[in-house]
Structure 1
Amino acid sequence: MKTTELFDMFLKQEDEPFSGWDFSFIGSTGRVQNSLLPWSYCSKVLPMMKSAETMLDMGTGGGELLSKLRPFPAKTYATEGYEPNIKIAQQTLEPLGVKVKSFKDDDSLPFSNHQFDLIINKHESYSEKEIFRILKSGGMFLTQQVGGFDCLEINEILQAPIQQEYLDWNLENAARKLKDNGFNILETDEAFPTQRFFDVGALIYYLKAIPWQIEDFSVSAYRDQLFQVHQMIEKNGFIDVKQHRFLLVATPQ
């Protein structure tokens, strides 16, 4: 297949549906691959769940990950703020006994003071004050976050604006904010694993799923730059970008 014909085929990935928080369309097929982190989020969550009676999963997406972490504590809740995901999460989690709550504002979660033994959070925003309010004394907050330097090479390659407001989101600043809001920090880690794209269609699908990376992204707006990426991949076999991840475990003082 000619370069331009293959490129036109990959451009159609813009129209592929994306639901919940499921990247298997490009991940399970090996079209995008990530290098390993020095920790496992789920391996840290599971022992904490064993000793918890009440748990909250923040930003559950479509419930894909939480549904695999059974057995749940006796009272388990999940939040989701993205409207299309709420029904998906309810359909996935509520038959398993998890109550799914929608919310609009990190500073106003629909829970009582000191309600949870354990709050887990993977790649979801949060308010330190609100976490402190709803977490029990002696409770645990575990979060894995996407740092502000995540995949900036994508923006550079496509000559797209970088979202400046996220650049200071890193382990040091996140830990400081938790300390300032009454937490003791129990564990930290930070890493910059590689994310590898093997075709430009996988990159297009990825960018449509995470619109905050390039806010004005569309195939029509970035067609020329995408063709350059396509040519780079045809020459080298892939393109690599650096992800940014950090882990925090904290408890109220």
Structure 2
Amino acid sequence: MKNKIDYADFYERVGRTNGWNFSSMNVVSEKVGWNFYEEVVRHTRSSDLLLDIGTGGGEAILSIAKEALLLVGIDLAQGMIETAQHNLQATGGHSNVRFLHMDAEKLHFPDCFFNVVSSRHSRFSASEVFRVLAQGGIFLTQQVSEHDKSNLSEAFGRGQSLGIQPGTLMERYKHKLQIAGFHDIQAREYNVVEHYATPEDLMFLLTHAPIIPDFGKVDTDFERFQQFVNEHRDEKGIRTNSARFMITARK
């Protein structure tokens, strides 16, 4: 069972202050298996309509705006959408990009509307994705595996997936996609070493992502943080791991 955390409140707060912009962090992941939005682009034609679920501050689809005819980013957090709108204006505006406040469990789009649907680190409804995808369309999702940042979860005694068997979420999603009607369901995984250059880089991550629920609200958190830094620091930085899985499925 996941540690209790008010995700809605967390994403609203982070959305208004940062979105999903982690570009300020100095972090190196060794030999990752793929770049998710490069995979999305690889399956997208210039004439396609693309939906991005859990778009956050829209950083990802703004970076690939030229790759599709229309790109729509949705997020459940109003704060994320406000940041996405600000980011869109800051780029000078892309006439083919839209950001909408919307629940992924109930998509307000016609049947068979999109050619590509993507979802990175966000919940989705397999049946709703299937409904809005055109025949032959593709769905791509990348999710955080249960053993991501495992040494951090152990150090703090809590984590968003602590105690859950690795692979549980991936198998659950594959099953839901199959039940929804998808075929050609394929999954890939990686688990690689990751180094954060400074304690400040790691602190930024923990305060802007729900890796350690309620980080900073427990009296011993900062003492444990310093101990973690001391015990996991080497010549490359502060060592942890990055574990992800990606699923692709066809309608």
TM-score, normalised to structure 2's length? 0.81
CA root-mean-square deviation: 2.5
The question of whether the paired residues in 2 share the 8 Å contact of 1:159 and 1:225 is answered with: no
Alignment map for 1:230-249 (pairs within 5 Å): 230-232=229-231, 238-249=237-248
Q: CA deviation at 1:220?
A: 6.1
Aligned length: 230
Amino acid at match of 2:113: Q
Matched, 1:46 2:41: yes
The SS at the match of 2:139 is strand
What is the DSSP-based 3-state SS (H/G/I as helix, E as strand, rest coil) of the residue aligned with 1:65?
Answer: helix
Shift of 1:101: 0.9
Query: Pick from 38, 53, 58: which aligns with 2:53?
Result: 58
Q: In structure 2, which of residues 117, 120, 123 is the aligned counterpart of residue 119 of structure 1?
A: 117
| Greater displacement, 120-129 / 64-73 | 64-73
Query: Which residue of the partner structure matches residue 184 of structure 1?
Result: 183
1:89 counterpart letter in structure 2: A
In the alignment, the residues of structure 2 paired with residue 234 and residue 41 of structure 1 have an alpha-carbon distance, to the nearest angstrom, of 28
> What is the CA–CA distance in structure 2 between the aligned matches of 1:24 and 1:106, rounded to whole Å?
26
Identity over aligned residues, as a percent? 25
CA contact 2:50–2:117 (8 Å) conserved in 1 = yes
Provide, for residues 50-85 of structure 1, a one-character-per-residue CA deviation record: whole Å limited to 9, x for no partner. 154311111221111211113142232111222222
State the Cα distance separating 1:228 from its structure 2 match: 1.1
* Contact map agreement 1:152 1:162 (CA 8 A) in 2: no
**Where does the alignment leave 5 or more consecutive residues of structure 1 unmatched?**
1-16
Per the alignment, residue 36 of structure 1 pairs with 31
Alignment partners' CA distance in 2, 1:194 and 1:233: 12
Determine if contact 1:198/1:233 at 8 Å carries over to the other structure. Answer: no
- Residue type of the partner of 1:206? L
Letter matched to residue 194 of structure 1: V
8 A contact 1:58–1:124 mirrored in 2: yes
Instruction: Give the alignment of 1:1-253 within 5 angstroms.
Output: 18-26=17-25, 30=26, 32-50=27-45, 52-93=47-88, 95-97=93-95, 98-103=97-102, 105-160=103-158, 163=161, 167=165, 169-210=168-209, 212-218=210-216, 221=219, 222-232=221-231, 238-252=237-251
Secondary structure of 2:85's match?
Answer: helix
Q: For 2:168 and 2:98, how far apart are their aligned partners in 1?
A: 30
Tell whether the 8 Å contact from 1:52 to 1:117 is kept in structure 2 after alignment: no
Q: Counterpart of 2:43 in 1: which secondary structure? A: helix
Q: 1:239 to 1:142 in 2, by over 3 A?
A: same
> More displaced, 229-238 or 33-42?
229-238
Whichever of the two has the greater Rg, that structure is 1
